[in-house]
């Protein structure tokens, strides 16, 4: 991956602290009542658990979720085989400014602050997106999945896995809607032409883990993220109560769920998208698979009207998810001259910390 950027060593704001609280931290929720049985009373309790987790943490872990273990094992095996290839082979399907899907490594941009390589794809082989973040630009562009020649089983493993995780994501979306007092299918229509993106992450061993991060502190821009991580771990969540970083210990065959920016806006700040980051390891490689559950690019994101009244007015102006997403992607390839777009740019009034 290269050497750690010397400028990063002088950047204490983003450099990882050595003192991290080792704790299970985020709530663990058993989805059995909604996946395997039909017990209305148990499901109501489950809705309450998820609502509390979204409000208090913005993160939670789910077990007994219904995703077949075999599908996860297949995609993990194919991902390891793909990343084990020589760099020149992986770079044959590199993503670029026009197509945000395919292979990417931080060394190619000299951004050694994030110590990883990734492979991105979407639910559909071709995904429509806005051509630019300019609000006046009505043209559309396409992102097309780039599948490598090797390993040949990667595409099938990815497609079968994502179909199963999509079922889980829709189930969680319904439970979250109910926890807000909304109909279970309240958000489903936004995902008819979804822009969901899936990422295979590989974090190689890092010679100076105290100076680099697998992924720097950030919040996810979409609706929900469903994360599978291996036994090495490294995910850390910023606890809302005191700002401490909490290490999330891996639980076998569990998924980590977090609320994204879109859900924060839809809920009008009832639920908050929370900062998180990934630490690297000095002697072990790590693999993870985030499923970024995103609505159609033409979705206008705004607080849902059922949650708005005189006592609780809308805290955000409407914004285009597609334009938001395109702006974020362009910032990966060139300096835009402005801060990366965030949902606080659409706040009706400034939030007081």
pLDDT digits (tens, 9 = 90+) for 286-341: 999 999 999 999 999 999 999 999 999 999 999 999 999 998 877 554 443 445 78
Q: How far is CA 148 from CA 75, 192, 217, in A?
A: 14, 28, 30
pLDDT in tens, 179-226: 999 999 999 999 999 999 999 999 999 887 777 778 889 999 999 999
Within a domain: 246 = yes
pLDDT in tens, 114-151: 789 999 999 988 999 998 888 889 899 999 999 999 99
List, as one string, the DSSP characters of 271-334: S----EEE---SS--EEEEEEEE--BTT-EE---GGG--SSS---B--EEHHHHHHHHHHTTTS
Within a domain: 102 = yes
CA-closest candidate to residue 329, choices 105, 95, 60: 95
* Percent of the chain surpassing pLDDT 70: 87
Within a domain: 38 = yes
Which of 41 and 208 is assigned the larger pLDDT? 41
Question: CB burial class (10 A; 0-12, 13-18, 19+) of residue 244?
Answer: middle
Confidence of residue 67 (pLDDT cuts 50, 70, 90): very high
Q: What is the pLDDT of residue 305?
A: 97
Q: What is the pLDDT of residue 109?
A: 52
Q: What is the pLDDT of residue 25?
A: 74
- Whole-angstrom Cα distance, residue 14 to residue 215? 11
* Percent of the chain surpassing pLDDT 90: 74
Cα torsion angle, 280, 281, 282, 286, sign: negative
Within a domain: 77 = yes
> Residue 297 maps to which CATH number?
2.60.120.330
pLDDT in tens, 87-113: 999 999 999 888 999 999 976 555 556
Within a domain: 351 = no
Domain with 325 in it: 6-346
Within a domain: 133 = yes
- Whole-angstrom Cα distance, residue 94 to residue 185? 37
Q: Which residue has the tokens 């970024």?
A: 292
Confidence of residue 14 (pLDDT cuts 50, 70, 90): very low
Strand partners, 131: none
Q: Which residues contact 146 (CB under 8 A, 6 or more apart)?
A: 93, 95, 99, 101, 102, 103, 121
Confidence of residue 176 (pLDDT cuts 50, 70, 90): very high
Confidence of residue 24 (pLDDT cuts 50, 70, 90): low
Within a domain: 353 = no
Within a domain: 285 = yes
CB-based contact 260:222 (threshold 8 Å): yes
Q: How many domains does the chain have?
A: 1
């Amino acid at each position: 991956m290269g050497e750690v950027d010397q400028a990063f060593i002088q950047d204490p704001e983003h450099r990882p602290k050595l003192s991290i609280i080792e704790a299970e931290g985020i709530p663990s929720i058993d989805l059995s009542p909604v996946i395997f049985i039909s017990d209305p009373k148990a499901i109501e309790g489950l809705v309450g658990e998820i609502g509390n987790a979204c409000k208090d943490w913005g993160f939670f872990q789910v077990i007994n979720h219904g995703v077949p273990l075999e599908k996860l094992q297949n995609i993990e095996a194919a991902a390891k085989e793909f990343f084990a290839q020589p760099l020149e082979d992986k770079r044959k399907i590199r993503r670029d400014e026009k197509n945000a899907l395919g292979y990417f490594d931080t060394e190619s941009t000299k951004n050694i602050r994030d110590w990883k390589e990734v492979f991105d794809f979407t639910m559909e082989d071709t995904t429509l997106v806005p051509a630019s973040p300019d609000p006046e630009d009505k043209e559309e562009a396409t992102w097309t999945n780039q599948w490598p020649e090797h390993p040949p089983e990667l595409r099938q493993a990815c497609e079968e896995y994502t179909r199963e995780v999509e079922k889980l994501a829709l189930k969680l979306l319904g439970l979250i809607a109910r926890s807000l007092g909304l109909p279970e299918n309240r958000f489903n229509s936004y995902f008819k032409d979804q822009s969901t993106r899936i990422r295979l992450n590989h974090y190689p061993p890092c010679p100076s883990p105290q100076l680099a991060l697998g992924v720097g502190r950030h919040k996810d821009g979409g609706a929900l993220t469903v994360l599978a991580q291996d036994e090495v771990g490294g995910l850390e969540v910023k606890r809302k109560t005191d700002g401490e970083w909490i290490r999330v210990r891996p639980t076998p065959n569990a998924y980590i769920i977090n609320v994204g920016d879109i859900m924060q806006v839809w809920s009008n700040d009832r639920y908050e998208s929370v900062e998180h980051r990934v630490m690297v390891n000095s002697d072990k490689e790590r693999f993870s698979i985030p499923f970024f559950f995103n609505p159609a690019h033409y979705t206008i994101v705004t607080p849902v009207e059922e949650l708005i009244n005189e006592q609780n007015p809308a805290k955000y102006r409407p914004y285009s998810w597609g334009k938001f997403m395109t702006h974020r992607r362009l910032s990966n390839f060139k300096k835009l001259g402005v801060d990366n777009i965030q949902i606080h740019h659409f706040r009706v009034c400034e939030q007081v910390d």
